[in-house]
Amino acid sequence: MISEPSISNLRLTGGDLCLDFINTVSHRLRPEEGDYLHSFRDITSWYQHVNGMSDKTIQTLDRLAKSYPQKAAQVFGKSIQLRELLYEIFLQVITGKAPDPQALLTLSSYISEAYSNMELVWSKDKGLLQLQFNAPALEQVNWHIAQHALDLLSTGPLKQVKQCPGCGWIFLDKSKNSSRRWCSMATCGDIDKVTRFQQRNKKRK
């Protein structure tokens, strides 16, 4: 039996919060290799790992999850639905297809829920208006990801969103000449090098 992977070892190679969230399964092309997320608590641990929320917010959400375990489980179910939805949408974008209208409708529901729970506040430090969640809510973990996905999907650069041929992870290629092929050279890129070397040697024999 393969042991479940730990969030503290999760590599962050997506280049965007919503893509790193999609990459919380060990291997997109071999799902049996395990999942990093099993409960609401894993989602807040993930936020801590990616530095995606303040410690104070994470503590508040963990406290809420403890008081309302059923609600937390329900929100977690929606987190996984959102993750798989985003994987589907980004795969379609990568292959040059228009995203499935039904998938977009579901994403819209996450986004409208997020914005209906936000308010405009004036940030004195930045001298700018900012959108903030108006009250701590467990659903915030999903709204935050939906917002990032909307940003990326509506402003791009979507041509730079790619899928690693080794593990199926999705990443934003920020290399100068858009030549990045692997989620990481140290993992999938290296495995590819070794495999090709072995194949070459086999042919020689």
Residues that bind Zn ion (CB under 5 A): 164, 166-167, 169, 183, 188
Q: Which is nearer to Zn ion, 37 or 188 (CB)?
A: 188
**Do residues 122 and 56 lie in contact, with contact meaning Cβ atoms separated by under 8 Å?**
no
State the minimum distance, in angstroms, from the CB of residue 165 to Zn ion.
8
Of 141 and 172, which has the nearer Cβ to Zn ion?
172
Q: How far is the CB of 90 from Zn ion (least distance, A)?
A: 15
> Minimum distance from CB of 116 to Zn ion (Å)?
37
- Closest contact distance (angstroms) between CB of 27 and Zn ion is 8
Residue closer to Zn ion (CB basis): 152 or 164: 164
CB 162 within 8 A of CB 13: no
Comparing CB distances to Zn ion, the nearer of 52 and 166 is 166
Phi and psi of 173, rounded to 5°? Answer: -80, 105
